[in-house]
Amino acid sequence: QGEEGPPSLEYIQAKDLFPHKELIKEEESLQVPFAVLQGEGVEYLGHASDAVIAISNYRLHIKFKDSVVNVPLRMMESVESRDMFQLHIVCKDSKVVRCHFSTFKQCQEWLKRLSRAIARPTKPEDLFAFAYHAWCLGVCADEEDQHAHLCRPGDHVKYRFEMELARMGFDLQNVWRVSDINNNYKLCTSYPQKLLVPVWITDKELENVASFRSWKRIPAVVYRHLRNGAVIARCSQPEISWWGWRNADDEYLVTSIAKACALNPGQRLAGGTPYSGPSEGNEACDAGFDSSLTACSSVESSATPQKLLILDARSYTAAVANRAKGGGCECEEYYPNCEVVFMGMANIHSIRNSFQYLRAVCSQMPDPSNWLSALESTKWLQHLSVMLKAAVLVANAVDREGRPVLVHCSDGWDRTPQIVALAKILLDPYYRTMEGFQVLVESDWLDFGHKFADRCGHQEKAEDQNEQCPVFLQWLDSIHQLLKQFPCLFEFNEAFLVKLVQHTYSCLYGTFLGNSPCEREMHNIAKRTCSVWSLLRAGNKNFHNLLYISGTDQVSETPAVIGNGPWKEEGVQGCCMSFGLCGHVPEVFSPDVSPTSMAGILRGCEVWIN
C-alpha cells in the first residue's frame, strides 16, 4: 500500500483467485466442443479413437459421433486402463463410461491426466463450486444483487426453522422451547444451533444428556403432527457400554417428550373434540425451566402420555455389539412408558457393497433370463424395503396411534435421517412439494450433520474409502420408488431427483460440501458458493410434475383389499437406465381406496415391504 492510494487488495476481483490453466491441445485445429461455465477452463483437448475428448477443471467431456458424455470430475469414483486401449471410468451415481484410444501410449497419457484431475482436493477451494461462484460474481457490477438472485435459496430455506415451528403448531409458551445451548456449536458440532426440547428441560440437563449420547447428539424434536400432537425426535445411541451405565437426565428427557405431546395435543383430541388451546395450568411450566413436572401437575392429571416408541435402526445384535465400543441401546426397564423396536437396517459398509454390486449389474448388457435374480443378489431392493418398513412404522405410530417416536442408529447421521425424512414425506404433503422437499433436505440432512463430504468422497485429504457410502442416494431412490407408485402426490418429477443426485456429487454447488453445519460456516460456504436450490427452484417448469394434485392430505378410513403385484422386469430395467438406480414398485390399490390419501400411501407401502 502506497501513501496516496487505497489498499491494493481492493482491486483484486474474486475470480482472480481462481485463474485458468493454459489449454494443451493435441491438434491446433481442435475446438472446445461445449459451452463452458463461468470459472470453467478447459485444460486438455484431444482425440480418442472415435471421439473428441476434453478435460476441464469441472468435467470430462467426450463427444462421440452420435452422442455426448458429460461427467463432473467429482462424480468419478475411479478410472483405470483396460485392454490396453480403453479407459474405464466408474461414477458415484452408478454410471460406467468407456472410452477407446488408438494407441496404448495415448490411453496412458489420458489416464494420467484424468487421474490427476480427480485426485482428492488439498483444500476446500480446490472444489469447483468456489471458482464458479467467484466468476459468476465477476461478470456482474452489483455483486450482492447477483449473489442474492442467482446463488441463494429462498426465504423458505433461510428461515426454515422458525417457519416450520409456526407451521407445525408448537406451543412455545407452555410446552416446548427452543434451546440455545448449541450456540456457536459449543455443545455439538454436528447439530444445528437451535434445538427444540420440552419447556421444563434445563440447559444443564441437556449438557448431562450430551455426555451420555454418542457425539453429544441429544434427543431433539424435529416434527409434530398437527392433528394429534405426536412428535418425531432424533438422536444418537446412548453410551451404555458393557458396564450398563445409566443417565437419569437422559431417561427424564426421553419420557418428557411423550409428556409434552400430551400437553400440546394438536388441533383435535382422540375423540374428535376440537383443541381449545393450552389450559391455565400450562403457564406454570414456563417459569424458570423447572426441572420437575410438579409445576404442571394440574395438567398432567388430565393428560395421559402415549407410550413413546424408540426406533433403533440397527439390529438387536448390532446394538448390543456396540456396547463393546462404548455404545448400546435403551433398556425399557429404565425408560418408563417406552417401547424399543429394532429394525435391522444394514450399516454403511453393507450398503456400499450392495451399491457396487448393483452398479456392476446395471453396467452389463441385461440378460432377460437372469436379470431379476442378478438384481436380487445385490440386496439393494431388500435394503430399500427395510428402510421403507421403518419409515412406515414411524408414520403409523404418529398418524394412526398418536404416539411420539424417537429415532436413532449408532451416530444418528446416516440411517436416522433416512428414516425420519422418509417418514415425514409419508406424513406431510408439504414435504412432497418442491419447496417443502428443499426444507426437508436442509433440515434433516444438512442441519443435523449427515457427513456429505465423507460419504460422497470429496473431503480434502481424506483417503479412507470406508467412509464413502451412497446413503443420501439410497434415500433418494426410496423417494423415487414412492414417486413411481404415487405419481400424483409429488410436485417434482424424476428429473428433479436425477439432477439432485448429480449435484450431490458434482461440487458445482456448495449445498452438499462439508460434513456439518459447523464446517460449512467455518469455510463461509453459504456466501462463497451457489445453492443447488437456485437451480431446483419451484418456478423451474423442467422439474414440475404435471400429474401433481395439491392438497391431498386427507386420511381415508375406507378399508382396502390389496393384492401383491408382480415385479415387472421391463420396469426394473427401465428405471435402472433412467435413474441410475433400481426398479419400480407395482400398483397395489383397489378401486375404493384413494392412492392420494394418507391411508392409501401407508397401505401401498405396507404391501410393497411385506
Task: Tell me: pLDDT of 7 over 90.
Answer: no
Helix (H) or strand (E) holding 168: none
By the 8 A CB rule, do 427 and 253 touch?
no
126 known member of a binding site:
no
- pLDDT, tens digit, 9 for 90 and up, residues 26-40: 999 999 999 999 999
What is the predicted pLDDT for the residue at 348?
Answer: 97
In the chain, % of residues over pLDDT 70: 80
Q: Which of 103, 119, 135 is the last residue of a domain?
A: 119
User: Rounded mean pLDDT of 470-497?
Assistant: 95
Q: Is residue 2 part of a domain?
A: no
Mean pLDDT, rounded, for 222-242: 96
454 labelled as ligand-binding? no
Residue 438 pLDDT > 90, yes or no? yes
pLDDT band for position 605 (50/70/90)? low
Are residues 330 and 385 both part of a single domain?
yes
Same domain, 94 and 186: no
User: Is residue 127 in some structural domain?
Assistant: no
Q: Do residue 232 and residue 315 come from a single domain?
A: yes
- Percentage, residues of the chain above pLDDT 90: 69
Examine the domain organization and report whether 108 and 182 are in the same domain: no
Condensed to tens digits (0 to 9), the pLDDT of residues 281-326 reads 333 333 333 333 333 433 343 468 999 999 999 999 999 999 999 9
Same-domain status, 238 and 108 = no
Known binding residue 524? Answer is: no
The residue-averaged pLDDT of 505-509 equals: 97
Residues forming a β-bridge with 197? 177
Query: What's the CATH number where 109 sits?
Result: 2.30.29.30
| Cα separation values, 236 from 115, 311, 345, 475, Å | 38, 11, 15, 19
pTM of the model: 0.86
Q: What cell numbers appear for 53 in the block? A: 475428448
Q: Are residues 536 and 581 in the same domain?
A: yes
To the question of whether residue 200 is assigned a binding role by annotation, the answer is no
Residue 277 region by backbone torsions, left for phi larger than 0, else alpha for psi between -120 and 50, else beta: left
pLDDT for residue 599: 59
CA nearest to 578, candidates 438, 437, 477, 449: 477
Q: Is residue 49 a known part of a binding site? A: no
Q: Is 323 annotated as a binding residue?
A: yes
Choose among 545, 553, 532: nearest CA to 479.
545
The residues, any chain, with a CB within 8 Å of residue 166's CB and separated by 6 or more, are: none
Pair 396, 530 in one domain: yes
322 among annotated binding-site residues: yes
Q: State yes or no: 120 annotated in a binding site.
A: no
**How far apart, in whole angstroms, are the C-alpha atoms of residue 461 and residue 128?**
16
In the predicted structure, residue 12 carries a pLDDT above the cut 90: no
Same structural domain, 67 and 167 = no
Is the confidence at residue 568, as pLDDT, over 60?
A: no
Q: Are residues 115 and 159 in the same domain?
A: no
Among 200, 179, 178, 201, CA closest to 295? 200
How much is the average pLDDT of 468-485? 95
Closest alpha carbon to 406 in 246, 218, 227: 218
Q: Specify the DSSP element, H or E, that contains 557.
A: none
How far, in whole angstroms, is CA 368 from its chain's centroid?
A: 34
Residue 351 has pLDDT above 50, yes or no: yes
Query: Region 565-588: what's the mean pLDDT?
Result: 36
Determine whether 85 is exposed, middle or buried from the number of CB atoms within 10 Å of its CB (0-12, 13-18, 19+).
Answer: middle
Q: Of 606 and 120, which is predicted with more confidence?
A: 120
115, 89 Cβ separation under 8 angstroms: no
Distance (Å, rounded) from C-alpha 212 to C-alpha 235? 11
In a domain, 406, yes or no: yes
pLDDT value for 248: 97
Q: What is the pLDDT of residue 372?
A: 86
Assign 376 to helix, strand or coil: helix
pLDDT at 586: 31
In a domain, 142, yes or no: no
Give the pLDDT confidence of 392-414 residue by residue, as tens digits: 999 999 999 999 999 999 999 99
More confident residue, 64 or 564: 64
Tell whether the model's pLDDT for residue 603 goes beyond 70.
no
pLDDT of residue 477: 96
Please check whether residue 250 lies inside any domain of the structure. Answer: yes
Indicate whether 192 and 265 sit together in one domain.
yes
Do the annotations mark residue 411 as ligand-binding? yes
Given 119, 144, 170, the domain boundary residue is 119
pLDDT of 437: 98
Query: What pLDDT is stored for residue 297 in this prediction?
Result: 36
How many angstroms separate the first and last alpha carbons of the chain? 72
3 is a domain residue: no
- Least Cα distance to 307 among 230, 220, 233, 404 occurs for 404
Query: What is the pLDDT averaged over residues 492-500?
Result: 97
Residue where a domain stops, chosen among 75, 96, 119: 119
520 is in an annotated binding site: no
Q: Which residues are catalytic?
A: 409
Q: What is the mean pLDDT of the chain?
A: 84
Mean pLDDT of 431-452: 97
Cβ neighbours of residue 575 under 8 Å, at least 6 residues apart? Answer: 480, 484, 581, 582, 583, 584
Give me the pLDDT at residue 152, please.
Answer: 81
pLDDT digits (tens, 9 = 90+) for 150-160: 678 888 889 99
Choose between 13 and 144: higher pLDDT: 13
Determine contact, residues 168/191, Cβ cutoff 8 Å.
no
Rg (C-alpha) for the chain, rounded Å, is: 26
In a domain, 443, yes or no: yes
Count of structural domains, the chain: 2
In this predicted structure, the answer to whether residue 190 has a pLDDT above a threshold of 80 is yes
Domain shared by 82 and 173, yes or no: no
Cell of 448: 443435523
540 Cβ contact partners less than 8 Å away, ≥ 6 residues apart: none
The C-alpha cell 459451452 sits at 35
pLDDT of residue 606: 59
Of 4, 8, 55, 13, the residue nearest 33 (C-alpha): 55
User: What's the confidence (pLDDT) of residue 182?
Assistant: 98
In this prediction, residue 266 carries a pLDDT of 81
- Coil, strand or helix: which one is 24? strand
- Can you read off the three cell numbers belonging to residue 411? 451416530
* Weakest-pLDDT range from 4-13, 424-433, 505-514: 4-13
Average pLDDT value for residue range 494-519: 97
> Within this chain, do residues 256 and 361 fall inside the same structural domain, yes or no?
yes
Segments in 234-365 forming alpha helices (H): 248-263, 297-300, 316-321, 348-363
pLDDT for residue 598 = 56
pLDDT given for residue 395 in this prediction: 96
* Residue 32 lies in domain: 10-119
Indicate if the pLDDT at residue 564 is higher than 90: no
